[in-house]
Chain A
Amino acid sequence: MMARHAPRDRTGPGTVDAEPVAPADGWTQHERLVTRRVRSVFLVLVLVLLAVSLYSGYRVRLIDAEIKEFSLRVVPLQQLIGQLQRSVLEQRRIVRELVGADPPAGPQREAQVVSFEEASRTTHTQLGRALQLSELAVDDSPPAHEYERVDRLLRAFGVELEAYERAAAAWTAAAPGPEVSDPGAADALEQRADALGRRVDQVRLLFEVYAKSMAQRVEQLGGNARWLVGGVATGQLMLVLLLGAYLRYSINRIHRRQRQQEQRELRQRDELAHLSRVTTAGGLVAGLAHELNQPMQAIATRADAARLSLERHAADPAASRDTRDTRDPRLAGDLDAIAAQATRAGQIISRLRSFVARREPHRQPISVNTQVHATFALLRSAGRLDGVRLSARLEPGLAPVTADPIHLQQVLMNLIQNAVDAVTAAEGPDTRDPHVRVESQKLDGGRVELRVVDNGPPMADEQVEQIFQPFFTTKGDGLGVGLAISRSLVEAIGGTLHAAANPDQGMTFTVRLPVATGYPPPSGVASGRTDEPASPPTPPTAGVWL
């Protein structure tokens, strides 16, 4: 990156110099501060969202565990208890029938006894499973105390069941035959059966209450879980959006930076071009001062002559009042000449001024031929041709190119000046007629070609490659940026600049420029219209020698 040249012309139009000086990486202090702030805000937001998501996820897992617990243990336990009650009721019914007023006899009694034993076995099995479930649940479930109460009751039920079974066994032992009956044992058995029934009712009631509360809690937890899941999803969505926004911000930032970089480079190129023009103009100033002296001298001399004329007439006694007003037609000529010379001086100054003035480049459709004429005028008035014959062979009716006129003049000026220097620096028989010719021509494919041809010494190929490098110069004066700047100016408008040695003698520098958009390539189709809005009428011949 090139160093900016600090002392700038503040009065020049269009100076863009408001921003603070950028450090080496191209970021201003302000930009860096904003970036840091945005980055920390993003970081905090991401951390908060991450924490909320993690916590919600943890809570959802707990709730899930509880719900699973409910469905895996509480529901089966409730079912088991219901079955237990039913089987106990079945046992009581059989016992009541057997010990009732009209007990069955014979095979009917046998069948009742068998079904009693079956019901008893079923009760045992179901109790075992219920105890298993309630025992397991005690270990790790959150509402452990509920399970403990259930477990205690189940164990009490188990004790009751054993007592009942003992009573049943006693009764059976006391009345081995169907016809025999021990009323005492029968009463004891019935009491036991009632106690067992009460006990199983207790378990069922308790567990029903518990199951209902559990169901409510599970329902509530399910609602919480939905909220939490929604929160987690929202958080994750926000996280994604946030990251997307940050990504977009970063990309925008990089794009902006690239744009700024490009603008800086453009500005630097314009500044360098301006600097180079100023250097060129510095070489022109001495010649232009002389050129400016010409009209000034003519004005002064004319004015003196007119004054002398007036004095002579005033002193002439023969001049009458009548003739005094029309005494000398030469006075009018003097005034005309003075006016014309003053205009000429103004034009010289404005030509130089427009070439040197620092301003924003303004691209517009322009005629290359017009710019060739303007450059010739500037060079001639600066007297920089040193006896070199300068001629032009311009093709009339060329389509305009889109370019800044001063930039195009600068390119032409550099190329012509370069050629003039080459032919004047050369010594030898070839320099008897030092000559530089500028040619313009239309090319196929909507392009226009400008050539600057000289008859100086040709360059070696490796030197041709070097001359477009910045700060390469073979001359004692000058920056050595003229050709580099010219190439960059030409390439900025989509053109090319090349140099090649001529087959016989000298060099040719060729500029190719695209025709301005909206102007068809002038190939016969555009015969009815004028393609050169800005150009003066060009002589119709192909070769115009100036």
Chain B
Amino acid sequence: MNPAPPEPSPTVYVIGDDPAIRASLARLLEEVGTACVPYDNAIDFLRDFDADAPGPVCLVLDVRIPIMSGTDFHKALIGRGIGVPVILISGHGDIPMAVEALQRGAFDFIEKPFRSQHLLERVQQALDSDRRRRHLDAEHHSRQQRFDRLTPREREVLDRVVQGMTNRQIAEEFGVSSQAIDAHRTRVIAKLGVENVAQLIQIVLYHRGQSGPPAST
């Protein structure tokens, strides 16, 4: 594996209708060294936002924003598959709205008035979460690439290993020697970059848990 490049600086997008709130949040975030990009409406943000840009991001969203309400906008983000953590801010303190937002996957719902420290903490946590998400995405991606390198026979052997069958049982099923199965297994372990069978089973189960059951059953 290549050594990780120096991490790009995090960016917080602030979307809200009130210029005073936007400016004060930008000022606060810049004070703690976080780049902040304010938007006064959601349409402009969606036009400008590049999901593939490096660096952790998070969204601070005032629920009552022009043209599109905050919750509608959040729905639109999810609909486009943009997995940025979203911190909703509302002055209405509406419990059903908060529950709905959290169920839909918002990172947090903060009610006005809030303490700056609380917001900064939650922003840091959201950035960490995004960082983790990006990391996991990258891992998942490389793992997927490794799984993709397996031949069909190797995948069949892998399935049976994970199911707990011994080399002999697998050899009997396929009608080949157990040495051949052993060779397959060694190659699979090498291709997936693990050290032993225990780690192999772990990574397979983890991967399947993340991307659904495998196509070949």
A interface residues (Cβ-Cβ under 8 A, vs B) = 286, 289-290, 293-302, 304-305, 308-309, 312, 330, 333-334, 337, 340-341, 344, 383
- Residues from chain B with Cβ under 8 Å of A290 in the complex: 64, 91-92, 112
CB of A309 within 8 A of CB of B31, answer yes
Q: List 7 A-B contacts (CB under 8 A).
A: A294-B20, A296-B112, A297-B112, A302-B28, A304-B116, A305-B116, A334-B27
A383-B115 Cα distance, complex, nearest whole Å: 24
Using Cβ atoms and an 8 Å threshold, which residues of chain A touch B112? 290, 293-294, 296-297
How many A-B residue pairs lie within 8 Å, measured between CB atoms? 66
Contact A296 B20 (CB under 8 A): no
Given contacts A297-B113, A301-B119, 6 further A-B contacts (CB under 8 A): A289-B91, A295-B20, A300-B113, A302-B28, A308-B31, A340-B20
**What 5 pairs across the A-B complex have the smallest Cβ distances?**
A304-B116, A301-B24, A290-B91, A298-B20, A293-B91
B residues at A contact (CB < 8 Å): 18, 20-21, 23-25, 27-28, 31-32, 64, 91-92, 112-117, 119
Would you call A305 and B28 a contact (CB within 8 A)? yes
Minimum C-beta distance from A178 to chain B (A): 160
- The residue of chain A having its C-beta at the shortest distance from the C-beta of B32 within the complex is A308
**A301 and B18 contacting across the interface, CB-CB below 8 Å:** no
* Secondary structure of the A contact surface, majority rule: helix
- With both chains docked as a complex, state the minimum distance between the C-beta of B69 and any C-beta of chain A, in angstroms: 9
Question: Among the interface residues A294, A302, A304, A344, which one has the most CB atoms of the partner chain B within 10 A?
Answer: A294
Taken together as a complex, chains A and B put the C-alpha atoms of A383 and B62 apart, in Å, by 14
Task: Chain B residues near A337: list those with CB within 8 A.
Answer: 20, 23-24
- Taken together as a complex, chains A and B put the C-alpha atoms of A293 and B91 apart, in Å, by 7
B116 touches A341 (CB 8 A): no
**Shortest distance between the CB of A297 and any CB in chain B (Å):** 5
A333 to B30, CA, bound (A): 14
Which of B24, B32, B92, B117: most chain A CB closer than 10 A? B24
Give chain A nearest CB distance to B45 CB in angstroms.
19
* In the bound complex, CA of A133 to CA of B156 (Å): 173
Write out the residue numbers on chain B whose beta carbons fall within 8 Å of the beta carbon of A341. Answer: 20
Chain A neighbourhood of B27, CB < 8 A: 301-302, 305, 330, 333-334
CA distance A305 to B113 in the complex (A): 15
- Measured CB to CB, the nearest residue on chain B to A303 is B116
Residues of B within 8 A of A286 (CB): 92
Contacts of B117 in A (CB 8 A): 304
Question: A231 → chain B, closest Cβ, in Å?
Answer: 90
Within 8 Å CB of A330, what residues of B? 27
